[in-house]
Amino acid sequence: MLSSFLSESLSKKNNLVGLVLIIIFVGVTLFLVVQPAYAHHPMGGATPANFSQGFLSGLAHPVIGLDHFVFVVAIGLLASFQNRLGIVIPITFVLATLIGTVIHLMSLDLPVPELIIAFSVLTAGLLLARKNKTNLALLISFGAIAGVFHGYAYGEAIVGAETTPLNAYLFGFILIQLLISAIAFYLGGLTLKPVKEPSSLTLRFAGFLICGVGIAFFSTALLG
């Protein structure tokens, strides 16, 4: 009787977490459709001029840049497949975004960044949609490579800024990415706990949805 009650409770909890994840991703997809023009302009295209502007711009860029936001969520969900060690994946990704931003600020060019960023979103969705979990080392490498290109795109918003807003911007985008990926990591873990499989239907569904977002961005980058 007690085991049946506990099983039912866990099932309800799993469904609730799944519903939350679905709502988040549907909302992101709708936002992608209605506001594509604001994706890479957290300050309306203006360069941050002080600490607060730099910090707010850093917080905003990975959120309103929907390709970045979806990828950060995806990397957190992918990390949840690996238990506690998985947290290394988003940390590596975030550190790599810092490197990518520095590369941009040094006026070094990376090949077709928007195309690769879109492809990274699509790949993350495919990995998430797989029934079997992906090798940890492979995910860390994938996160590091993708992070460099996502960070390179972040650098566009801060080119020409003074030291204070620049440092605030870097701190802002590091903080928000760690926060978003940590939340995704936690929600993904809750979804996986009630099931004894390397994946769950909810996370696989999220993966397919991320694939759709990745395809949309990849098509735009390829044709635009």
Q: Give pairs for 35-39: CB < 8 Å, separation 24+.
A: 36/66, 38/64, 39/64, 39/65, 39/66, 39/67
pLDDT at residue 149, as a whole number = 97
pTM: 0.81
Residue type for 5, please? F
- Would you give per-residue pLDDT tens digits along the chain (224 residues)? 434 433 444 454 555 555 555 555 555 554 544 444 444 555 666 788 899 999 999 998 888 888 899 999 999 999 988 878 899 999 999 999 999 999 999 999 999 999 999 999 999 999 988 877 788 999 999 999 999 999 999 998 888 889 999 999 999 999 999 999 999 998 888 776 655 455 567 777 788 888 888 888 888 877 76
pLDDT at residue 66, as a whole number = 84
